[in-house]
Structures are given as C-alpha cells and as structure tokens.
A and B are shown apart, each in its own frame.
Chain A
Amino acid sequence: MSARNIAIVYRKELLEALRDRRTLISTILVPILLFPILTVGVGFVVAGLIEEADREPARIMILGGTDSPGIVSSLAKSKNLIVVAEPANYVELISNKKIRAAVEIPPGLESSAGTDYSPVKIYMYSGDLKSTTAAKRIEEFFNDYRDNLARDRLKAQKLPASFLKPFDIQQKNVVSEEKVAGETVGGIISYLVIIMCLTGAMYPAMDLTAGEKERATMETILSSPISRTHLVLGKFLLVLTASLVTAALSVTSMGVSSWVFQHFQDQSSGSAIHIKIGLGAVLSVFLVALPLAVMFSAALLTIALFAKSYKEAQSYISPLMVVVIVPAVAAMLPGVELTPRLSLVPILNVSLLCKDLIAGTYHWNSIALIFLSTSLYAGAAIFIAIKMFQRESVLFRS
C-alpha cells in the first residue's frame, strides 16, 4: 500500500511538472541549450575573433632605427604590418588603440658587428588580442633577423648551423587519453554534474513545497488519507528525477557540443588536443553522484518547506548555491588530491572522486568510503525532510 501511495504521488507530481513551463525550462531546456551556446556559440565567436586578428594588418610604430634602414625597410615590407610614421606619443596611441604596438630599435643594430647589443623593445597593450598579435609578429620578424644574423656569422666562421643548437628537446605524453581527460576536463565535468544535480532539483523542490502552500493545495492533500511520510517520499522522488535528468542532459549536451566543436577545429586547424571519456567513466560518475543528488533533493525540499511562498523559498535556497559551489570548485584547484580525510567532506569528496573516475583511476577503498558517507548524509537529509513534513509549525507557518 505504501509503495502504491508513493507511486500515486510521484505520478501526479510528474504529470504536473511536465505541464509546467518553468520546470521544463530549468530541467530540460537550459541544460540542453547551455552547452551548445557556451562551447559551439562562444567557441566559434572566439575563434572568429582570433582569425580576424590574425588576418587584419596591424598598425605599428618604429622608434629609432635611423641607422638601421635595412631593418626598417624590411619591417615596413613585412606581411600584415603597417608602419605608421607619426612622431606622436606611442603610449597614448597604443592605449587608445590607434596603433597596436611600437618597436624600439637600439642604435647600431644593423651596422654593428659586435656582440654587445641593447635589446629590441616591443611596446604593447597587454591582454588586447590585436596588440598581442602585432607584438608577436614583430617578435617573429626580429627572431628571423637574429637567426639569419647568427647563421651568417656561423657560415663566416665555417661552423655548422647545429653549432648553436646541438640537440632538440621533445615532450611526449605517456598516459592514456582517459587520464589526460581526467586532468584537463575531469574537474569541469565533476563540477558540472554536481551543480546540475543541484540546479535541476531547485525549482521542483520549491514548487512542490512552498509553491503548494502558495497555491493553497497543501491543506487539500493533507486532508487525504496518505501518510505524510509517503507524501514526502513521492515528492522527493520527483525532485530527484528532475535533478538526475538535468545532470544527465547537461553532460550529454556538453559531450555532443565538445565533439562538434572539436570536429570543426580538427577540420580547420588540423590539430587539437585529443581526449577520451569512456561511457563507463560517465556512468560511474553518475553512480557516485546519485547519493549526492539524493542529499540535494531532500535538503532542498526541507529548506523550501519552511517558506510560505515561492519567492521566500528562493531567498532561502540561493545561499545554498555558494555552499555547494565552493567545495565543487575546490576540487578543480591544482594539487587538491583525494585523501581519506577529504573522502568524508560532502560534495568535495564526490567532486574529487569523479575526477579520478574520468581519468580511469579506480581506488575502490575511496569509492566505497565516499559512496557510504554520501549515502549516510543523504539518508539523514531524507530523514530530516520526513520529520519536517510532520511538523505543524513548518507546514502551517504564519
């Protein structure tokens, strides 16, 4: 009878949720659209901006160089650089983005045969994409000039080109693509799963408690024979469903968006960082996140039940975001590794474990400890939610 009643409440809440535009937007639409917009949309915009900066000729200024006419002439002829001959204040011009960079050629650079040169100085607007690009082009020009000079001098001394560079240095990745994924995007995926488990549960939790009080349907349901425990469990299952659906859709949407973006990047540039996230790893992440979603759903139900209205519930729940974001972000910080003590810290433990799972690392002791401790917290949260539903002072707060 009890399972039947819980199922009746769950079915009814599901039906109402599917008819509620706000629930559909927060649970389904936002997670589906957020990542295509962020990765593909923003990605393409950024890629476009970089391409534009690469293509566009940069206006630069030469300071000095009167005794190096060859260098000045070559610089003026170099591709994508326009030399401006204004004797104005270059700092002001760079600040106002009238020119992108300025280069100071030390005296005697071209004529000197010695070895004691003053440095070539490039003045630029740090952080500005077009200025950085212009500075890079100037630097490349002077690198080439320096290399040619060195090569000519070696030739004059009858020395091979390898004289200055006797050997190369190479870096090589020796770990699997899964492990690379764990280190590079594992933290972000863990963060995403945790945050989406929370945000997916937020709106339904408020709608099913404070919303019910606001719409004056709480007394209607309390006058039916269903026990309050079954009532809260039915509601809790719906909130949990919304939480998991949102997290699953977010990760799927992020995976598809990243694949599409990477595919286009591969085609356009021919190179990309290759990472691999196995289906097993994603499923393990969800399995570990399950007790966390249970804990969030029950906690949100309890908190929202205190509120008399939807608006009041929002003001209670918003600070909870900070409580969840801080440990979730902490797991992304470099050097934060899973230790037995951290395995007991809620949210942070799951976040760190998810990172390991995506990297294909399975420390079974940690998994068991984290799963058990989070399940324990989740059980406590459900217990508190049930107790709160029994309290008249909470249900009929005035």
Chain B
Amino acid sequence: MIEARSLSKRFHDKKRGQICAVENVSFTCQPGSIYGLLGANGAGKTTTLRMLATILEPSDGTALVFGHDIIEYPEKVRANIGFLSTATALYPRLTAQEMVEYFGRLNGLDEATLKKRIDDIFNRLDMNSFRDRRCDKLSTGMKQKTSIARTLVHDPPVMIFDEPTLGLDIMAARTIVAFIRECRQAGKTVILSTHVMSEVEKLCDVIGIIHNGALLAEGTPTQLREKYQEKDLEEIFVRIVTTHVARPVPAEAS
C-alpha cells in the first residue's frame, strides 16, 4: 500500500525564486489496484513519484510505502518498490542479463536466488534471445523488456510508473500496458503517472487529478463521471483544471 500524507516539495530557482512543485498532496493506493496520477506536463506528477521512490526528499509531509516511512527508512522503501520511467535508462555497456543481475544484487539477492529469478523473468518476458547482448545494441522493445525485468528482479510489492509509455511506439507501449495489468493481477500496489487519457481509461482503478502541484480531484472513473455529470474523462479533466486558480506559494517555505 502507498499512503501519501500532505506531501509537498519546493525548489529554489535562481530566476524564478521559490517554486512549489507539489503542495499538500494526500492519497492512498491499495494493493491489487492501479492508481493513476493524471496531469499535464509540469503538474507535479514526476516530483510526487520521485518523492514516493525516495529519489527526492519532501519539503513537508511524508508517505508510507509498504509500511515504511519514506523519510525515515528510504532504503527499505526502495527495496520494496520497482520504479520505471523514461528517465530510468539502461547502462549501455552492460548486457541485458548483467543489467538485471546488477539490480538483483543491489537488492540483496543471493546468487542462487538471483539466477533462478532471472531465468524465470527472461523466460516469461521472452528475453533469452538477447540476454547476452549489450543494452546499447537493443531495440526499443528489448530495452523496455530489460527495464521491466530490472524492476521485477526483486519481486517488489509496490510498482511506481512515471509516464512509462512516453515516446514509445505502439508495440512497445502495449508491452508496458500489459505488464502494468500483470502487476495488478499479481496483487501489487501500482501507481502510474500519465497525461494520456486512453491509458487512464484502460488501466486505472482510481484517478487523482493533479494540477500546479495540487491534487484537485480523486475517485474511480465512475465516481468522477457521476460527480461531474460527464462521460468523457478528458472533458472532466479539462473542466477541473481550467476552473482551478493557482494558490500563491507560501513565503516561509524553504
């Protein structure tokens, strides 16, 4: 489970001064379901997910990921998550197998368990034909599969996907979408950020609409449709976002 509690993140920019990327965001993601964080570019999706993955530290608030506080136990949090984004590239000079082995070892797997898990994942994702090929020689689809294998090697109970299909062709994107569904079926807690409405409709059990760093609305697709008396999720999103007036950044923030 993921439980975000009043998460806020402020950055200092030389030209623009204090920037509030995320402000007071709270939500809960349940195991066996997919939570979709929906927002435009710059809405605060990536910052929120990076805080959950303990890559960034919150300025205020905290979150529990699989029962571990992200501020107090960041390493335990990272041991229980699989984080996949377009910014999580592969090491070009490692082979697909070496890449996955590296992350398996960093996750504390012993060699026997690691071998078993890699064989299992490589068979499942049909990766045996390129397991000894260097990552810089892989096609986009092969790279996606290797990234998936990297996030799965330690069998984490929580999966965090930051715009996972951004820039991918249809086939590669389908692989990712299928993988996200499999994670839900396996009972994992899944959080996904996207601005692609079709992805939200296909995948998400709960949607959180984020804009200017604030979570403006939350609910299942049905709940949102009922509340806004509108069938089209895109229309709902636009209505919520355009009626929202950005709040000023707190002056005392650091």
Query: What residues make up the interface of A, taking CB atoms closer than 8 Å to B?
Result: 1, 5, 8-9, 12, 15-16, 19-20, 215-217, 219-220, 222-227, 392-393, 396
B231 within 8 A of A: no
B108 and A219 form a contact (CB under 8 A): no
Pick from A20, A219, A396 the residue with the most CB of B within 10 Å. A219
A225 and B88 form a contact (CB under 8 A): no
B78 within 8 A of A: yes
B217 within 8 A of A: no
Q: Write the nearest CB–CB distance from B240 to chain A, whole angstroms.
A: 28
B53 and A20 form a contact (CB under 8 A): no
Residue numbers in B under 8 Å from A396 (CB-CB):
56
Residue numbers in A under 8 Å from B91 (CB-CB):
12, 16, 215, 217, 220
A216 and B87 form a contact (CB under 8 A): yes
Residue numbers in A under 8 Å from B107 (CB-CB):
224-225
Q: Tally of A-B residue pairs with Cβ under 8 A?
A: 66
Query: What residues make up the interface of B, taking CB atoms closer than 8 Å to A?
Result: 12, 50, 53, 55-57, 75-76, 78-79, 81, 83, 85-94, 98, 102-103, 105-108, 134, 150
Q: How far is the CA of A162 from the CA of B113 in the complex (A)?
A: 95
A–B Cβ pairs within 8 angstroms, 13 of them: A1-B108, A12-B98, A15-B98, A20-B93, A215-B91, A216-B86, A217-B88, A219-B83, A220-B89, A222-B55, A223-B81, A224-B78, A227-B75
Pick from A16, A20, A224 the residue with the most CB of B within 10 Å. A224
Known: A216-B87, A219-B55, A396-B56. A225 touches B94 (CB 8 A): no
Other-chain residue from B87, B92, B106 in contact with A5 (beta carbon distance below 8 A): B106
A224 and B55 form a contact (CB under 8 A): no
A225 and B56 form a contact (CB under 8 A): no
Known: A16-B94, A224-B107, A396-B56. A8 touches B102 (CB 8 A): yes
Other-chain residue from A8, A12, A222, A223 in contact with B94 (beta carbon distance below 8 A): A12
Q: How far is the CA of A1 from the CA of B93 in the complex (A)?
A: 26
Other-chain residue from A15, A217, A224, A225 in contact with B90 (beta carbon distance below 8 A): A217
Pick from A215, A220, A222, A223 the residue with the most CB of B within 10 Å. A223
A216 and B56 form a contact (CB under 8 A): no
Known: A5-B106, A8-B106, A19-B93. A223 touches B56 (CB 8 A): no
Contacts A15-B98, A217-B89, A223-B83 known; list 5 others, CB within 8 Å: A12-B98, A216-B89, A220-B88, A220-B90, A223-B88
Q: Please give me the residue from chain A that is nearest to B87 by CB atom.
A: A219
Other-chain residue from A9, A217, A227, A392 in contact with B56 (beta carbon distance below 8 A): A392
Q: Please give me the residue from chain A that is nearest to B154 by CB atom.
A: A225
Q: Please give me the residue from chain A that is nearest to B47 by CB atom.
A: A396
B106 and A225 form a contact (CB under 8 A): yes
Other-chain residue from A19, A219, A226 in contact with B106 (beta carbon distance below 8 A): A226
Known: A8-B105, A392-B56. A219 touches B85 (CB 8 A): yes
Q: Please give me the residue from chain B that is nearest to A226 by CB atom.
A: B106
Q: Write the nearest CB–CB distance from B232 to chain A, whole angstroms.
A: 34
Other-chain residue from B53, B57, B86, B90 in contact with A223 (beta carbon distance below 8 A): B53
Other-chain residue from B83, B86, B89, B134 in contact with A215 (beta carbon distance below 8 A): B89
Residue numbers in A under 8 Å from B90 (CB-CB):
217, 220
Q: How far is the CA of A8 from the CA of B98 in the complex (A)?
A: 12
Q: Write the nearest CB–CB distance from B9 to chain A, whole angstroms.
A: 10
Residue numbers in B under 8 Å from A20 (CB-CB):
93
Q: Write the nearest CB–CB distance from B178 to chain A, whole angstroms.
A: 22
Q: How far is the CA of A20 from the CA of B134 in the complex (A)?
A: 12
Q: How far is the CA of A396 from the CA of B88 in the complex (A)?
A: 13
Known: A224-B78, A224-B107, A227-B75. A16 touches B93 (CB 8 A): yes
Other-chain residue from A15, A16, A215, A225 in contact with B108 (beta carbon distance below 8 A): A225
Q: Write the nearest CB–CB distance from A223 to chain B, whole angstroms.
A: 4
Q: Write the nearest CB–CB distance from B183 to chain A, whole angstroms.
A: 16
Q: How far is the CA of A8 from the CA of B101 in the complex (A)?
A: 10
Q: Please give me the residue from chain A that is nearest to B9 by CB atom.
A: A392
Known: A15-B94, A216-B88, A217-B91. A224 touches B106 (CB 8 A): yes
Residue numbers in B under 8 Å from A12 (CB-CB):
91, 94, 98, 102
A223 and B93 form a contact (CB under 8 A): no
Q: Please give me the residue from chain A that is nearest to B84 by CB atom.
A: A223
Q: Write the nearest CB–CB distance from A208 to chain B, whole angstroms.
A: 11
Q: Write the nearest CB–CB distance from A382 to chain B, whole angstroms.
A: 21
Residue numbers in A under 8 Å from B88 (CB-CB):
216-217, 219-220, 223
Q: Please give me the residue from chain B that is nearest to A223 by CB atom.
A: B83
Q: Please give me the residue from chain B that is nearest to A9 by CB atom.
A: B106
Q: Please give me the residue from chain B that is nearest to A13 by CB atom.
A: B91
Residue numbers in A under 8 Å from B94 (CB-CB):
12, 15-16
Q: Write the nearest CB–CB distance from B108 to chain A, whole angstroms.
A: 7
Q: How far is the CA of A216 from the CA of B106 in the complex (A)?
A: 19
Q: Please give me the residue from chain A that is nearest to B160 by CB atom.
A: A223
